[in-house]
Amino acid sequence: MIDWAGLMALGLGQLRLLPDQFWALTPVELMMMAGVAPGVTPGLSRARLDALCVQFPDT
């Protein structure tokens, strides 16, 4: 179940989105903007990219 009151407080209150901006977002997009998206893995870090470049060098 989606906590619309909580999402609205987050989007309209904390993130200061305009109503049309808020309603154009999916709940996951809104949560990502807030940095709390469950199940979303963080992007590739620089350290991990460097390790992959060593493991799989361009030839």
What's the pLDDT score for residue 6? 85
Question: What Å distances lie between residue 31 and 2, 16, 37, 48, 51, CA to CA?
Answer: 12, 14, 5, 25, 30
What's the pLDDT score for residue 20? 96
Domain containing 49 equals 4-55
pTM above 0.85, yes or no: no
Q: pLDDT tens, 3-59?
A: 888 888 988 999 999 999 999 998 778 878 888 766 656 677 888 889 989 999 987
Q: State how many domains the chain has.
A: 1
